[in-house]
Amino acid sequence: MSHDKHGGKVKPGSCDPVYGAPPPTEIVCIQVDKVYQECKKVLVNEDEIEHYAPLAVTDVTCLDVKLISQDCTVVAPGRIRVQFRYKIKARVTYDDQSTNEISHVVEQDKTVFLARADEEGLEVKCDIFLECLECFVEEVMDPNTARVRSTIICCIGKMILVKLFAHVQLLIPAYGFCPEPPECDEVLAICPDFDPEWPPYPPQED
């Protein structure tokens, strides 16, 4: 275990703003995924959900948007195809104040550019983060069925992260093994302590 300028053991945490990090005690070889190139793409799409109901929709709330699957493929030098599917779940309110939950699956296909894509030895990885920003409704009367056709439109924000990486061995300065962590703080109990008197039997009269 390395020691700092005061002779104490090195522990995880912020470096001293004046002295910086203490000198390492060794140089170690570790195996990691090293990122060689990366980019992000931020999008907002209006996804439409056709909804038929005998009543008009007066309000819609997005309950959730969840990623179902994702795939990244290098399709040409410098070009990466990102394909993903996600499910939108929303609650609609009708003009009689009744409600219903609806869901809809969307498939998306985007192409991004990274100059080192298709370079030998590099693999591709993508992460997709989704957020439902808002949903609203457009009402149209279908003349053929005399039923109200509601188009639920949900604005879905997407952040796509694409990385080119390789599994490598790196030399890094180190301070030995991490110290044993402290004990976790106790969670305060909701119920009060129980300290019964003993014996539990009341005195018996002769």
- Within the chain, residue ranges assigned H as helices are none
pLDDT band at 35 (very low <50, low <70, confident <90, very high): very high
Stated as kind and residue range, the H or E segment containing 90 is strand 79-94
pLDDT value, residue 206: 61
What share of the chain in percent tops pLDDT 70? 93
Q: Which two tokens stand for residue 71?
A: 């795939």
CA distance 158 to 119: 27
Query: Could you tell me which residues come within 8 angstroms of residue 67 by beta carbon, excluding any fewer than 6 positions away?
Result: 84, 85, 86, 128, 130
pLDDT value, residue 139: 76
25 φ, ψ (degrees, to nearest 5): -95, -15
Query: By CB neighbour count within 10 A (0-12 exposed, 13-18 middle, 19+ buried), where does 80 fall?
Result: buried
Alpha-carbon separation of residue 65 from 33, 92, 128, 141, 159 (angstroms): 30, 15, 12, 28, 13
Does the pLDDT value for residue 185 go beyond 90?
A: no
pLDDT value, residue 8: 57
Tens digit of each residue's pLDDT (9 = 90 or more) over 54-105: 788 889 999 999 999 999 999 999 999 999 999 999 999 998 999 999 999 9
Mean pLDDT in the chain? 88
What integer is the mean pLDDT of 38-46?
A: 94
pLDDT value, residue 6: 42
Does the pLDDT value for residue 5 go beyond 70?
A: no
CA distance 76 to 113: 10
- DSSP letter for each residue of 44-87: EEEEEEEEEESS-EEEEEEEEEEEEEEEEEEEETTEEEEEEEEE
pLDDT value, residue 34: 96
Tens digit of each residue's pLDDT (9 = 90 or more) over 89-147: 999 999 899 999 999 999 999 999 999 999 999 999 999 999 999 999 987 776 776 66
pLDDT value, residue 146: 66
pLDDT value, residue 199: 76
pLDDT value, residue 1: 45
More confident residue, 187 or 87: 87
